[in-house]
């Protein structure tokens, strides 16, 4: 191994630098407002071998470092030493910071939060990508149609495919999370009621039903909600937006549940029955109104 000469007074101590990693190209989008959140093995270091790694003599003999930790880390690379190992999957890393980042794939921790919408992510790179949805930045241009987009979304960027349903993902962590929908695995449990969840974000959202926390507030009327999806639905009462349309009569609704209720009028479904006279209704509100006047029930 080559010798590196340095004077102790020139070396500054610093915490280990973050592991150099390739940024993932796409955020995992779940059916809820978090997600996925917010994350994969694309953050692992390359295992390919170069002439410099196998033969230290090929390196620049004048290579120097500003920090002692940088030098120590560099000295490991000729022999491929990776002293920090994951106890869950036995992967190894040069840096302790690299191991800590990797551990989030097992714990589901998402320490990087968006100040605009409170979504959270396990890597700061994912948060930066998410912020483009707020700033409007579209750095990627499609070669086929010239459309500019927030993230790379084409099939060639989704290398990890589900063998069960053929869905594809750009990050292996997203695939592993998705596989729980097939296996039924729910590793995150609520200590209050023993309900279990596929992701940590799902558990955190559920915990608000116990704590009463409502972090999402309407700027128009100051109402608060425990889920951002509920806030988005509420905002339609102010904007008048009705994105759910009936294909039969073209009526529109601000909630999909209202559309489903409306569809019963076309299908003739009446799932709500009076226990007294056995009359049936398509809406529970109609049943409740009937119950107040039904002599048989009273």
pLDDT, tens digit, 9 for 90 and up, residues 180-236: 999 999 999 999 998 999 988 889 889 999 999 998 889 999 899 988 888 989 999
Lowest mean pLDDT among 144-153, 183-192, 288-297: 144-153
Asked whether residue 202 is assigned to any structural domain, the reply reads no
Give the model's pLDDT for residue 24. Answer: 37
Lowest mean pLDDT among 33-47, 103-117, 153-167, 199-213: 33-47
Give the model's pLDDT for residue 183. Answer: 94
Residues 24 and 138 in one domain: yes
Asked whether residue 183 is assigned to any structural domain, the reply reads no
Report yes or no: 217 and 200 within 8 Å, Cβ to Cβ.
no
Pairing of the two strands 272-273 and 280-281: antiparallel
Give the model's pLDDT for residue 248. Answer: 92
User: How many alpha carbons lie under 13 Å from residue 106 in its C-beta half-sphere?
Assistant: 11
Where does a domain end: 110, 134, 149?
Answer: 149
Domain that holds residue 264: 244-291
- Please tell me the distance from the alpha carbon of residue 227 to that of residue 224, in angstroms, as a whole number: 9
Tell me which range, 93-97, 100-104, 258-262, is most confidently predicted by mean pLDDT.
Answer: 258-262
Asked whether residue 235 is assigned to any structural domain, the reply reads no
Asked whether residue 186 is assigned to any structural domain, the reply reads no
Flag whether the pTM goes above 0.85: no
Whether the predicted pLDDT of 251 surpasses 90 = yes
Whether the predicted pLDDT of 162 surpasses 60 = yes
Instruction: Write down the mean pLDDT value for the chain.
Output: 74
Asked whether residue 212 is assigned to any structural domain, the reply reads no
Closest CA to 153 of 24, 26, 23: 26
pLDDT digits (tens, 9 = 90+) for 8-38: 444 444 444 444 333 333 333 333 333 333 3
Give the model's pLDDT for residue 244. Answer: 92
DSSP letters for 178-201? HHHHHH----EE-TTT--EESSHH
More confident: 5 or 22:
5
Asked whether residue 47 is assigned to any structural domain, the reply reads yes
Give the model's pLDDT for residue 28. Answer: 38
Asked whether residue 75 is assigned to any structural domain, the reply reads yes
Give the model's pLDDT for residue 193. Answer: 93
Query: How far, CA to CA in Å, does 150 sit from each of 36, 121, 140, 282?
Result: 17, 17, 6, 43
What is the separation of C-alpha 9 from the centre of its chain, rounded to a whole number of angstroms? 45
Q: Where are the alpha helices (DSSP H) in the chain?
A: 51-54, 68-76, 96-107, 124-135, 172-183, 200-211, 228-239, 256-267, 284-291
Report yes or no: 35 and 199 within 8 Å, Cβ to Cβ.
yes
Asked whether residue 165 is assigned to any structural domain, the reply reads no
Where does a domain end: 127, 149, 171?
Answer: 149
Give me 115's structure tokens: 């100040």
Is 217 strand, coil or helix? strand
- Please tell me the distance from the alpha carbon of residue 281 to that of residue 200, in angstroms, as a whole number: 40
Domain count, the chain: 2
User: Phi/psi at 93 (nearest 5 deg)?
Assistant: -140, 150
Report yes or no: 122 and 104 within 8 Å, Cβ to Cβ.
yes
User: Can you give the CATH number for the domain in which 284 is found?
Assistant: 3.30.160.60
pLDDT digits (tens, 9 = 90+) for 43-96: 333 333 334 333 444 444 456 666 777 677 676 665 667 888 888 887 888 878
293 pLDDT band (50/70/90 cuts)?
A: confident
Where does a domain end: 107, 124, 149?
Answer: 149
């Amino acid at each position: 191994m080559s010798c590196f000469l340095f004077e102790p007074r020139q070396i500054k101590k610093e915490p280990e630098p973050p592991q150099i990693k390739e940024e993932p190209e796409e955020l995992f989008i779940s059916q809820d407002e978090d997600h996925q959140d917010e994350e994969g093995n694309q953050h692992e270091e390359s295992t390919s071998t170069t002439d410099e790694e196998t033969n230290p003599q090929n390196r620049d003999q004048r290579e120097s470092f500003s920090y002692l930790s940088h030098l120590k880390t560099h000295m490991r690379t000729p022999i491929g030493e990776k002293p920090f190992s994951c106890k869950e999957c036995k992967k190894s890393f040069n840096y302790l910071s690299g191991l800590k980042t990797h551990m989030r794939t097992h714990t589901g921790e998402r320490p990087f939060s968006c100040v605009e919408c409170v979504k959270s992510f396990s890597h700061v790179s994912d948060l930066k990508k998410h912020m483009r949805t707020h700033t409007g930045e579209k750095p990627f241009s499609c070669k086929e149609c010239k459309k500019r987009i927030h993230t790379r979304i084409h099939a060639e960027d989704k290398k990890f495919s589900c063998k069960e349903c053929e869905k594809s993902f750009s990050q292996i962590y997203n695939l592993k999370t998705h596989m729980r929908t097939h296996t039924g695995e729910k590793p995150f449990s609520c200590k209050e009621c023993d309900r279990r969840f596929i992701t940590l974000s799902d558990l955190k959202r559920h915990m608000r039903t116990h704590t009463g926390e409502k972090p999402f507030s309407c700027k128009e009327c100051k109402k608060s909600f425990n889920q951002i999806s509920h806030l988005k639905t509420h905002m339609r009462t102010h904007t008048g937006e009705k994105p759910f349309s009936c294909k039969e009569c073209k009526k529109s609704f601000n909630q999909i549940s209202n559309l489903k209720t409306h569809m019963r009028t076309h299908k003739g479904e009446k799932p709500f029955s009076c226990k007294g006279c056995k009359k049936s209704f398509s809406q529970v509100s109609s049943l409740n109104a009937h119950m107040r006047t039904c002599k048989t029930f009273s």
